[in-house]
Amino acid sequence: MPMNSNDKNYSNLVDKYVTGKILVTRSSMPAYEEYCEEIKDIWDTRWLTNMGPKHKKLQEELTKYLGVEKIDLLTNGHMALELTMQALGLTGEVITTPFTFASTTHAIVRNGLTPVFCDIDPENFTIDTAKIEALITDKTSAIVPVHVYGNICNIEEIQRLADKYGLKVIYDAAHTFGETYKGKGVGSFGDVSCFSFHATKVFNTIEGGAVCFKDQSFGDKMYDLKNFGIHGPEIVESVGANAKMNEFSAAMGICNLRHVDAEIEKRRKVTERYHERLDGVEGVRLNKVSPDVKPNYAYLPAIFDEEKFGCGRDEVFRVLSEHNIGARKYFYPLTNSFDCFAGRFDPNDTPVALKISRSVLTLPLYADLMTEQVDRICDLIISCKK
C-alpha cells in the first residue's frame, strides 16, 4: 500500500532521528513559552538569587511532591553532600561505596574525612549491608550509602546498624527523585537525603540540588553554610560558603515539576521496550525493580557476562560508539581506583563492585527516545553476541 504524505513525513523523521547520534541521556525541558512565562516576573522584581519567590515556591512544592518533612535547595547536588557532612560535624571515618559518581567520595575527602569502602550487592548494586558492620571502628562517624540506578538501599538494616553504633546516615539519593519505598518518599530516610537536580537527571533545575531532613537545627546549620553564615546586614555568625540556588534554576524546576510524572511514564515505556528486546538474550542482565519501590526509570544499566554473551562490555561499547550511540560505562572506574587516590585504596578490597564496574553499560534512556531508536540499539547489541 503506498504511503500518504503524512506517512512519508513520519518515515523521514524516523530515518533522521533513528540513524542520527543518540546520546545516553537528554535533558527534559518545558515548552519554551512556559519557561518564559514563569520567569517573566523576575524582570519586574529583579530578584535573581538569595532565596527569592521562585526558590520558596519550588521548596514548598518539592516538600509535598517528595513527601518529606523539610527541604532546602542548593546550587548543586555535590554541595548538598559536602555541606551536609559539615553540618552534621562528621569526623574520622565514613563508610560508603566505591560504586558511585565521583561526587560522593570527593565530598567525604574534601571534608578531611576518610572513606572506608564497602562492597556492593551484586543484584541491585547498592552497598552490601552484610559487610558494613565489620568495617565499623571507633573512628566511624557515619554511613553514606548510595541509591543506585533507582535501586533503593537496604534501609532497615542500615538504620539498625546506625542506631546500634550511634552513626549518622546520609543517603546519596541522586538517582531516586520521586521514588517511594514501601509507600514512603525515599527522601525521608536517614538523617539526611541528598538529591541532585543536574540537567541529566529525571528532574532538573539545570543545575541544582537539595537536602531533605527532619531536624531543624540541622536546617539552620545548612542555611549558614550555604549563605556565608550571614544573619543580617551587619551580622555574620559563622563561616560558610555560597551554595544558594538562583531564581532562574528554581523557575526551571517549577516548570519541570509540572511534567515530571508524564516524563517518568514515557521513561517507563522506553524501559519496557528494552526489556522486551533484551530480557531473553543470554549473557545480558537488565536491572530489576523491587516490588517495594515505585521507580522513576532513571537509568537502564545492562550487565554483560563475557563468557555467556561471547564478548565483553567494552566491545559492545565500541560497536555502539561506531554507530553514533552514546552508551556510558557508569560507574567505571570505581572511585577507589581514581588516579587522584593512587596508592591510597585498593579496588580489590571491593571485588563485586570491581567486577560490576567492568561489566556494566548504561544504555540511552530519556523520555523522548523513540521505539525505533531503542530497537536499533538492541539490534546492534544482539549483533555482538557470539
Where along the chain do its domains lie? 5-26+260-384, 32-254
Share of the chain above pLDDT 70, in %: 95
Is the CA virtual torsion 22, 104, 158, 116 positive or negative?
Answer: positive
Give, for 15, the enclosing helix (H) or strand (E).
Answer: helix 5-18
- The answer on pLDDT for 18 being more than 70 is no
Range in 2-11, 34-43, 309-318, 344-353 the model is least confident about: 2-11
Closest C-alpha to 85, from 211, 200, 189: 211
Place of cell 541509591: 147
Which pLDDT does position 1 carry in this prediction?
40
**Average pLDDT of the chain?**
95
CA distances, 152 to each of 148, 174, 293 (Å):
7, 11, 7
> Would the pLDDT of 107 be above 70?
yes
Distance between CA atoms of residues 197 and 187, nearest Å: 14
What pLDDT is recorded for position 2?
A: 43
The answer to whether 67 and 111 are in contact (CB under 8 A) is no
pTM for the model stands at 0.94
Which whole number is the average pLDDT over 71-84? 98
Q: What share of the chain is helix, strand, coil (3-state, %, to 5)?
A: 45, 15, 40
Q: Which of 147, 110, 151, 145 is nearest to 131 (CA)?
A: 145
CA angle 278/281/287 to nearest 5° reads 50
Answer yes or no: is pLDDT of 206 > 60: yes
Percent of the chain clearing pLDDT 90 (strictly above) = 95
Instruction: Kindly give, in sequence order, each residue whose CB lies less than 8 Å from that of residue 329, ignoring residues fewer than 6 positions away.
Output: 313, 317, 357, 360, 361, 362
pLDDT mean over 230-252: 96
Amino acid letter for position 236: V
Residue pair 212/189 in contact (Cβ under 8 Å)? The answer is: no
The rounded distance, in Å, linking the Cα atoms of 293 and 295 is 6
Mean pLDDT along residues 279-285: 97
**Top-confidence residue, 221 or 16:** 221
Rounded CA-CA distance 327/299 in Å is 11
> Tens digits of per-residue pLDDT, 375-386?
999 999 999 998
What pLDDT band is residue 20 in, cutting at 50, 70 and 90? confident
Compare 80 and 9 and report the one with higher pLDDT: 80
Residues 118-126, mean pLDDT to the nearest whole number:
98
Query: Smallest Cα–Cα separation from 96: which of 140, 161, 138, 145?
Result: 145
pLDDT of residue 87: 98
What Å distances lie between residue 175 and 113, 149, 216, 296, CA to CA? Answer: 24, 6, 25, 9
DSSP character at residue 336: G
pLDDT tens digits, one per residue of 306-330: 999 999 999 999 999 999 999 999 9
Q: Examine the pLDDT at 15 and tell me if it is beyond 50.
A: no
pLDDT of residue 32: 98
Instruction: Give the 3-state secondary structure of residue 384.
Output: helix
Question: What is the chain's Cα-based Rg?
Answer: 22
Interval 175-190: pLDDT, tens: 999 999 999 999 999 9
Report the C-alpha gap between 113 and 106 in whole angstroms.
Answer: 10
* CATH architecture for segment(s) 32-254: 3-Layer(aba) Sandwich (3.40)
The distance in angstroms from the start CA to the end CA of the chain is: 38
pLDDT greater than 50 at residue 193: yes
Question: Rounded distance, CA 307 to CA 310, Å?
Answer: 6
CATH architecture entry for 5-26+260-384: Alpha-Beta Complex (3.90)
Q: Produce one character per residue of 53-66: b if its CB has 16 or more CB atoms within 10 Å, e if not.
A: ebbebbbeebbebb
DSSP 246-306: PHHHHHHHHHHHHHHHHHHHHHHHHHHHHHHHHTTSTTEEE----TTEE-----EEEEE-H
Cα separation, 347 vs 339, in Å, equals: 12
> Which tens digit of pLDDT belongs to each residue from 260-274?
999 999 999 999 999
Whether the predicted pLDDT of 16 surpasses 90: no
